[in-house]
Amino acid sequence: MKTVKLGGSLLMAAALFSSCIEQSDVEMHTTIHPDGTCTRIVSYSDVMSQEMRDTLWTDSSQRRAQPVPECLEISGFTYSYTQVGNGDTVTSVLTHDYNTVAEMSEDMPLQLNGVQLKATSSFTKQFRWFYTDYTFTEVFSSVGDVFSHPITDYLEDDVASFWFTGQPEMLQGLSGAELAEQLNPIESAVTNWLNDNIFQLNFDFIANHYDSVINPPISREQFIAQRGSFKDYVLKFGDIMDVDHKKVFKDFFHSDAYGFFFDETPSGKALVRENGKLWSVLDLSVPYTLTMPGKITDAGIGVCQNDTVFYPLTGERLIPHDYTISATSRVNHVWAYIVTVLLVVLVSVCVLYKRS
């Protein structure tokens, strides 16, 4: 989606719910062991002055970077350490060992809007005489139901998947001009999808809290009946995120009665939190790395460097459908080659001995 400026409650919501990647540098690493046990490591960073550390770190159990990012639930982790780096940057590293990959996924530390992300994992190994192949797969459930209007109402399934995840590859080999020709209508459809979701969320919130409106210019029923006309009026100014929400409500309904929903009032703060549920998905970005036994032979959609696979785990990738990461590695059996050579030598010696 193109870069847009945000106004009013949308700006506050975007700022409030963007801490996971912009402020806290959350990362997650998974290590798969040959016997199927596994280890998950989560790290995050915050800037904490010496005064803050002295105040918050009253005992050793509290020596963690503060605040803990909204997208993390780390109470289940059994081991952690914290280090202070340059510029008062404090990094906490948390580790937990699991007996199975299924157990690990059930204890997923990532969350959105206070709800744990759902994931399932599988691990298989195939023994061959000269090697063993290991395959690990983790599937993160879609969070697209956070949006009232599904993206598939605006784009075909494959196109929506390509826009948000890069898969399937649809534009390989096109020139820059040809890419722009293909991408512009997709971007327009995605913008319409986001506009519609933001409009419905804000309009429905006000309709559901209409009893708190003092001296409303029209009844709740009349307000709801104006939904379509008001939406057309708002969107004629362009992207809904560019709009001064307080002003368009005043101009369309000829009243200041709805302005408090966009001020620092209890209702305004509640609306910010509702908008934040959308932005928390769009802002989530947790670099995910994976190591496996032996040498990586298939990194799936990831990028492999020095036998560590890097995956982009973002909220946007969870919008159109479940997001799957998978990798296969191979451990060569040196002993098998030695035994085979010895057997060949032994057989050869026996044959020569019999001939002699």
pLDDT on residue 22: 44
249 half-sphere exposure, CB direction, 13 A CA radius: 22
Least Cα distance to 65 among 47, 78, 79 occurs for 47
Instruction: Provide the b/e sequence for 158-195 (b: ≥16 CB within 10 Å).
Output: ebbbbbbbeeeeeeeeeeeeeeeeeeeebeebbbbbbb
d(CA 142, CA 165): 12
The domain locations on the chain are: 8-334
Would you give per-residue pLDDT tens digits along the chain (356 residues)? 443 333 344 444 444 444 444 446 899 999 999 999 999 999 999 898 888 888 888 876 668 888 888 899 888 888 788 888 888 899 999 999 999 999 999 999 999 998 999 999 999 999 999 999 999 999 999 999 999 999 999 999 999 999 999 988 888 888 888 888 889 999 999 999 999 999 999 999 999 999 999 999 999 999 999 999 999 999 888 888 888 989 999 999 999 999 999 999 999 999 999 999 999 999 999 999 999 999 999 999 999 999 999 999 999 999 999 999 999 999 998 888 888 888 888 887 887 777 76
d(CA 66, CA 51): 13
Q: Which residues are CB-contacts of 211 (< 8 A; sequence separation ≥ 6)?
A: none
Q: Cα dihedral sign for 289, 294, 297, 298?
A: negative
pLDDT on residue 7: 37
**CB distance 241 to 227 below 8 Å:** no
**Across the chain, which distance is largest between two alpha carbons, in Å?**
114
**CB distance 350 to 164 below 8 Å:** no
Tell me whether residue 150 is exposed, middle or buried, using C-beta atoms within 10 angstroms of its C-beta: 0 to 12, 13 to 18, 19 or more.
middle
d(CA 65, CA 88): 10
Q: Which residues are CB-contacts of 356 (< 8 A; sequence separation ≥ 6)?
A: none
Tell me whether residue 235 is exposed, middle or buried, using C-beta atoms within 10 angstroms of its C-beta: 0 to 12, 13 to 18, 19 or more.
middle
Q: Give yes or no for a cis peptide into 168 (omega within 30° of 0).
A: yes
pLDDT on residue 355: 73
Instruction: Provide the b/e sequence for 22-40 (b: ≥16 CB within 10 Å).
Output: eebbbbbbbbbeeebbbbb
